A = this chain, B = another copy of it.
Amino acid sequence: MYLAKIHITHKASILDPQGEAIKNALHRLDYQDVSNITAGKYFETTLTSDSKEQAEATTRSICESLLANQNMETFLFTVEKVED
């Protein structure tokens, strides 16, 4: 069994309205030392792939085909072997 940890964040050039809204809310709550915040998605997926290479290939493919909006987002992931 393999465990993939996937981080999906906005591309640097893309406006992050959710992050802006959260920052403004935090400033209204008087958290003045928060200077910037970016909001993204985090997924953990377990895979029954036969090899680490196959688990990595599947993870890359599910990011590209479903989890990440390739126009606006970038993704990073790690894959590690875990006990069944």
Contacts and interface: CB of A to CB of B under 8 A. Distances in A.
A10 to B, nearest CB: 10
B55 A45 contact: no
A38 B33 contact: no
Q: What is the copy number of this chain in the assembly?
A: 2
Interface residues of A, number: 35
A44 B33 CA distance: 14
A15 to B, nearest CB: 16
Interface string A52-80: 00110010011001110000000000000
Interface of A: 1, 7-9, 19, 22, 25-26, 29, 31, 33-49, 54-55, 58, 61-62, 65-67
